[in-house]
Amino acid sequence: MIAPPRLSTILLAAITVLVAVLLYSPLFVPIVSSFFPVARGEVDWSSPTIETYVALTGNHEILSALRTTLVVGFCTVVLSVVGGTLLALYYHGRRAGRSALQFIIFLPFLMPPIISGLALLIFFREIGLERSLLTVIIGHTAFVLAIVYRTVLTRLQSMSRTLVEASYDLGATKWQTFWRIILPNLSSAMVGGAILAFALSFDETMITILVTGTQSTLPVRLWAMMRLGFSPDINALVALILMFTVLLCALAARFLVPRQIATQRA
Closest approach of another protein to the CB of residue 145, in Å: 8
CB closer to another protein, 50 vs 226? 226
d(CA 257, CA 195): 13
CB closer to another protein, 214 vs 260? 260
Closest approach of another protein to the CB of residue 190, in Å: 13
d(CA 217, CA 228): 18
Closest approach of another protein to the CB of residue 165, in Å: 5
Closest approach of another protein to the CB of residue 20, in Å: 6
**82-86 CB contacts, 8 Å cutoff, 24+ apart:** 83/141, 83/145, 83/148, 83/149, 84/145, 84/147, 84/148, 84/149, 84/151, 84/152, 84/193, 85/148, 85/152, 85/186, 85/190
Q: Nearest-CA neighbor of 193 among 241, 156, 138, 240?
A: 156
Closest approach of another protein to the CB of residue 53, in Å: 16
Q: Kindly give the interhelix angle for 133-158 and 113-126, rounded to the nearest 10 degrees.
A: 120
